[in-house]
Amino acid sequence: MNKTTKSLLLGVISVKIVVILLVTSIPVNGNTLVPNDSELVKNTTTLINVSTEHKVDSVLALMTIDEKIGQLVQYSGKWNATGPSTSKRDQYKHDKLKKGEVGSMLNIASVASIRETQRIVMENSRLKIPLIFAYDVIHGYKTIFPIPLGESASWDLGIIEKSAAIAAKEAAASGLNWTFAPMIDVSRDARWGRIMEGSGEDTYLTTKIGVARINGFQGNDLSAAHTIAACAKHFVGYGFAEGGRDYNTVNIGEFELHNTILPPFKAASEVGVATFMNAFNDIDGIPATGHKYLQRDLLKKDWNWPGLMVSDWGSIGEMIAHGYARDLEHASEIAINAGSDMDMESYAYEASLKTLVEKGKVSTAILDDAVRRVLRLKFQLGLFDDPYKYCDEEREKADVYSKENLEIARDVAKKSIVLLKNDNQILPLSKKIKSIAVIGPLADDKDTPLGNWRARADYNSAVSLLEGVKHAVSKSTAIYYEKGIELTIPIVKPGENQFARPLEFNTTDSSGIEKAVELAKKVEVVLLAIGEDAYQTGEGRSQVDIGFKGLQLELLEAIQKVNKNIVIVLMNGRPMDLSRASEVAPTILECWHLGSESGNAIADVIFGDYNPSGKLPVSFPHHVGQEPLYYNQKNTGRPYGSTQVTYSSYRDAPRSALYPFGHGLSYTTFSYDNFKLSTTEINASEHIEVSVNVTNAGKRNGEEVVQLYIRDLVGSLVRPIKELKGFKKLMIKAGETKTVTFKINAETLQFYTANKKWEVEPGAFEVWVGGSSLAELKQSFSVVE
């Protein structure tokens, strides 16, 4: 055994010995597990492992105040950990690591770098408390899956969980323990850049998908080597930023908060998500990072959640810019007392907490509660047993970007595609078609399909549309390609930071359109790849114009004049204004940014190897002026649809969506009939069985997403005109009929009422079933006292 290996082993053993000795002497009771402080979380012994709590308290008892504060510090480590420091800031971080005064690192990826960074702590610090390593693994690590909004269009909870599990497996194999995902902000404004990172406009769908992703990341055992800790973000209201402008203020009422925004987070807490992240925005004047009611009172106390709350990047310090804190010390005082446990890159806690404790402005109980949450997670991950358990170079080689992972990515991608329009049944194409033109700025783009937040994906590593088409067709098919136009000037350079600069769009150089038009004249079908660059959506990428940038519409209209058989292959990260494109093109295939296997997955759908089954998780507008747009609006006193001039609508555009929530076509046709309720009257303790027959009336096997919507006609609060309350995705063979059933009970019908509690109010209800939010089959029932 060499000297280095021996010292590492002794470091691990020393922590184990300390823990074992102290476990035998410290009793576990309500006062030990949780600080005896009325502001802190209630006794959580029913939610957490008592043995782990013994160990947490044992380590905590040994710690100095500087070591405690250090566990609440998270640094971004962008240096080469295996080489010398390159700046004073890097050297400062190294020194803090050696002292054991850092709890977590983010943005370090690879076994080699993580092992070396962990070694600095384990060989030099007094208590040898291991670091936890975090990364933004949003829709894949090296193997990239569809952006979350696109993946949500699958409405397939099983494959969503599977994609998160693959992402976790790859990240864990590269040494990571923690991801800042899933984002479960309900998002109704297409202008908001981060709409691509969530599950869309609906609370119920967002809740179900959020739980699936958490289960995928964390599995059944957080200590398993292939799982990582998930993070429910952003707590809370971030998706309701005013005007769709990132980081902006949020103005929502108490009842909207509880009924629309909080349910996904409540569900996340109930399924045991390991961490939460607070939000950049203020809510009615209080920054989320310093919001005591939300973090400490509601989440940690009322919901009894024992996990770790981490700030968003620099959000503690940003309370100064908000005008809510005088300085960094004041910001630290507000944040820690409000329940923000770990400071990500504000350098606030390390500078101020010790002074605040000494002044009595932060209690020891508050400090210890935050530290416990950090230590608890490290024990749950198994890092105290083996700080290097995630550092296996052989596993990194075998588990990352494997053939198997890519096959799963292709499956997820094809199931995320939505057929928006298919006039004249142009799709699917025959693989023996004589000629196809693949045209557009995104047609041979191997980078845009990776989307934003692409973790450790290699630049230009996606399968392009052109490649996918070439792989799919017969040798007798002639494939032609023209770019037509450049979309951006310049394109983000390989390896460039995603926040480096805004994109510039080509609005003047149309010289390539003529070649594209000449090509379109001589082929049977044109596949036109247009939409958005990968960096048009994501953090800091809000836009007032959600239409086609640059010269894309000019290209579309020029081609349409010479060839009517156009299939728009739409690649985008947000709902777009497709009004003109929908008038011009007979077929539109919503392909989002589909990830590593994008081109192959699109070809699977275009040529009929897979019958599209995706449904929109967001509404697509006729015009950006409709935003924020969502299906479950409230009726108002002058409902839309009135024949009078003075009703709640626009004079120059519809109020409804161009393509509504839940919409998605298939290569077959599904019909619904025999819609039944088992009873039309129940009390709050009873339930109704809903059944409907769904028939595949076409000639192809296909999957349908059967959707259940409910309206509470009269409530103590104004209720939405329709709310998704159930869905089932199922395969139905050509000519086959399946009976689909749902159960309506108190959980289905309850809401946060004017009494400020979740309950079912007696009264009349309506229920619909169908293939979108425009479902027409309707029944009525009532709830009696």
Tokens matching residue 223 = 């200590």
Sign (positive/negative) of CA torsion 573, 574, 580, 586?
positive
DSSP H or E run through 33: helix 30-33
**Side chain identity, residue 72:** L
Verify whether residue 312 is a known catalytic residue: yes
SS3 category, 466: helix
Query: Among residues 149, 155, 263, which one has the least CA distance to residue 198?
Result: 149
Close Cβ partners of 222 (under 8 Å, ≥ 6 residues apart): 229, 274, 380, 381
Q: Give the C-alpha separation, 515 to 424, whole Å.
A: 27
Residue 82: half-sphere exposure toward Cβ, Cα within 13 Å: 8
Close Cβ partners of 623 (under 8 Å, ≥ 6 residues apart): 577, 579, 653
SS3 category, 353: helix
Q: Give the C-alpha separation, 175 to 105, whole Å.
A: 12
Given the structure tokens 């939460």, which residue do they identify? 276
Q: Are 201 and 150 in contact (CB under 8 A)?
A: no
Three-state SS sequence of 264-311? HHHHHHHCCCCEEEECCCEECCEEHHHCHHHHHHHHHHHCCCCCEEEC
Query: Among residues 163, 197, 734, which one has the least CA distance to residue 411?
Result: 163
State the CB neighbour count (10 A cutoff) for residue 552.
25
Residue of 189, 312, 533, 577 marked active site: 312
State how beta strands 566-571 and 587-590 pair. Answer: parallel
End-to-end CA distance of the chain: 75
Tokens matching residue 608 = 């009929």
SS3 category, 761: coil
Would you mind telling me the total number of residues written for the chain in this entry?
Answer: 785
Q: Are 439 and 528 in contact (CB under 8 A)?
A: yes
Tokens matching residue 46 = 């029913």
SS3 category, 4: helix
Q: Give the C-alpha separation, 272 to 275, whole Å.
A: 9
The residues annotated as belonging to the active site are 312
